[in-house]
């Protein structure tokens, strides 16, 4: 699952940096255009994440991770098309809004935002003692 998230993230970043060649007049007009950033406001309070002393987690936390993983994949798919179709000057704003959406999604599931999700992916998922916990929560670990 985390490979899919990584793939989607790479696709998003790649599409951001890939641009068509444009003539100088078009580039200058684009630079002069004033783009107002949409107001990004958190709906759900995202608690600060403090790294636990032990990487071992309980089944409830594993269930939250599994829910967040599935939801983040769907979120990535729905935002990828929006990002690809955006003009270059809008992509940064859309990516910022996407990051806020990821953080909000994780908070709605019960995690301390995307920071805790990333910690679970990078640390807890690799901990051998958590294998049975993640499997009990419905995740297949190979």
Average pLDDT over every residue of 51-79: 93
- Structure tokens given for 17: 């940096």
**C-alpha dist (Å) from residue 99 to 45, 75, 127, 138:** 15, 10, 27, 26
pLDDT, tens digit, for every residue of 98-130? 999 999 999 999 999 999 999 999 999 999 999
With beta carbons less than 8 A apart as the criterion, state whether 62 and 136 touch: yes
Q: Is 50 helix (H, G, I), strand (E, B) or coil?
A: coil
pLDDT at 78 over 50: yes
pLDDT for 70: 93
- Phi and psi at residue 18, to the nearest 5°: -80, 125
Average pLDDT over every residue of 1-12: 60
Q: Measured between alpha carbons, how far is 121 from 16 in angstroms, rounded to an integer? A: 25
Is the whole-model pTM more than 0.75?
no
pLDDT, tens digit, for every residue of 15-34? 555 544 444 555 555 544 44
pLDDT for 140: 83
Percent of the chain with pLDDT over 90: 46
pLDDT at 36 over 70: no
With beta carbons less than 8 A apart as the criterion, state whether 83 and 93 touch: no
């Amino acid at each position: 699952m985390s490979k899919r998230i990584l793939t989607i993230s790479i696709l998003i970043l790649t599409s951001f940096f890939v641009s068509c060649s444009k003539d100088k007049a078009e580039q200058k007009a684009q630079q002069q255009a004033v783009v107002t950033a949409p107001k990004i406001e958190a709906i759900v309070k995202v608690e600060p994440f403090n790294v636990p002393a032990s990487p071992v987690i309980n089944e409830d936390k594993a269930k939250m991770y599994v829910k967040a993983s599935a939801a983040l994949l769907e979120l990535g798919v729905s935002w990828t098309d929006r990002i690809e179709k955006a003009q270059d000057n809008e992509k940064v704003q859309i990516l910022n809004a996407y990051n806020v959406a990821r953080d909000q999604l994780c908070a709605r599931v019960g995690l301390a935002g995307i920071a805790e999700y990333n910690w679970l992916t990078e640390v807890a998922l690799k901990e051998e003692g958590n294998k049975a916990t993640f499997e009990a929560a419905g995740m297949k670990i190979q």
